[in-house]
Amino acid sequence: MKNILFIASECVPFIKTGGLADVVGSLPKYINKDEFDVRVMLPKYVCIPDKWKSQMQYVTHFYIDLAWRSQYVGIMSMVWEGITFYFIDNEYYFGGDRPYGETYTDIEKYAFFDKAALSALPSIGFRPDIIHCHDWQTGLIPVMLHDSFQENGFYRGIKTIMTIHNLKFQGVWDKQRIKDITGLSDYYFTADKLEAYGDANYLKGGLVYADKISTVSNTYAQEIKTAFYGEGLDGLMNARSNDLWGIVNGIDYEEYDPATDPFLVANYNAINFRKEKIKNKRALQQELGLAQNDKAFMLGICSRLTDQKGLDLVDYVIEEICAEDTQFVILGTGDPKYENLFRHFEWKYKDRVSANIYYNNERSHKLYAACDAFLMPSLFEPCGLSQLMSLRYGTVPIVRETGGLKDTVEPYNQYESSGTGFSFANYNAHEMLDTIRYAKDVFYNHRREWNKIIDRGMARDFSWTNSAKQYENLYYSMF
């Protein structure tokens, strides 16, 4: 039996701002319990709902030195769905109404968290064989483990994995300040270690010192070795390419199941979707005040409204997207320019555009079930989960070929009658528009082909079971 400890800054169901939380919350449940004991360690944020905090048990507390100060470290634990979770408690660092704040406070907060997490290990009676670190917030763990913790025999031989969920976020701040906070010596602040372009970089430190590196799709693992996607670290990614694994995320097939989803007006499956799925479209049209029209091609977006998600392409051709035979449903928040763009088009085309500028879990499930197609024209997308949910719900994805989108959506080929969606390669608004029009042509004029695309999409397995096996292989490769 091997011990694995996930350390991360967020995790469902306790605290979530993005896809990282879904991975950290779901993956441990699917890893083989006979071979691995997987546990998870998180900060005990004050903003975690009381429902969870009331179930946590006190384990112990002690003090550590950080930035010349002695800091309190409390450890709480609880078991949820068979997994043991540990929470690092310190109200000075983890107060506030959301997990992340200003960069400079986060830099110190996660230096504290990383040191506290490592310091806590002897007290919890669990010595991990592998510490699985997620994103820049845990980047100092492989560095610190290599440094002062080696003096204690308990830590010798512990291996580390660094998983990149999005290379854009790296935890970068002034070198001298980070030196003061962490107490690391000058040795670590050189260009082959933590230093990058004059500053210190947490993620880079983790990538240099981790035994293995993984990211959330095969294509993204290749892309980050190039200057365009590498965010300034492409040289390092090439240097470590022998230790770099790409493993696509999964989604929770119990939560996202059109056959049992409690949010849907009509449940359906791969056999009866031709008859039942349309009922969800009618219900959503009514709920949103759109024209009641079975024949309208309903296109959905459920996303952060930012440039990364390709919305500048949508901005260029939105007038053409909102054609008379199309209904366009948007759900999400983000940059004011995109929020206002969609609000304007809802005002202009009341019966065919619906701008839902907020996030609501129930509405997102209804969107995946009701739409005919789902649009994800991302500039870059490490993995992407929305296209996996769309496939699961028989909603045909229209995506740009990047990162996880390229790995999970097979483009439709009319000559071979293959594929699970539609895709375009170049980051170009008219190429996207042509792809939407091609999808509409198949939807309207080749209905049997359209239904076969749905059949193939719903038959694909992007559950965590698949990904978990690959993570198990990654763990085995380290022994």
Whether the predicted pLDDT of 135 surpasses 90 = yes
The predicted pLDDT at position 296 comes to 97
- Each residue of 195-230: pLDDT tens digit? 999 999 999 999 999 999 999 999 999 999 999 999
Task: Give the confidence band of 127 by pLDDT, cuts at 50, 70, 90.
Answer: very high
**Domains, the chain:** 2-250+464-476 (3.40.50.2000), 273-459 (3.40.50.2000)
Nearest CA-CA partner of 396 in 360, 440, 462: 440
The predicted pLDDT at position 68 comes to 81
Nearest CA-CA partner of 77 in 48, 107, 31, 44: 44
The predicted pLDDT at position 384 comes to 94
The predicted pLDDT at position 277 comes to 98
Whether the predicted pLDDT of 69 surpasses 90 = no
Question: What pTM does this model have?
Answer: 0.93
Task: Give the confidence band of 323 by pLDDT, cuts at 50, 70, 90.
Answer: very high
DSSP category for residue 165: S
**Which positions ≥6 away from 410 have C-beta within 8 Å?**
418, 419, 420, 421, 456
Mean pLDDT within 448-473: 96
Task: Give the confidence band of 19 by pLDDT, cuts at 50, 70, 90.
Answer: confident
The predicted pLDDT at position 18 comes to 82
Distance CA 165, CA 382 (A): 7
Task: Give the confidence band of 139 by pLDDT, cuts at 50, 70, 90.
Answer: very high
Helix axes 429-445, 447-459, angle to 10 degrees: 110
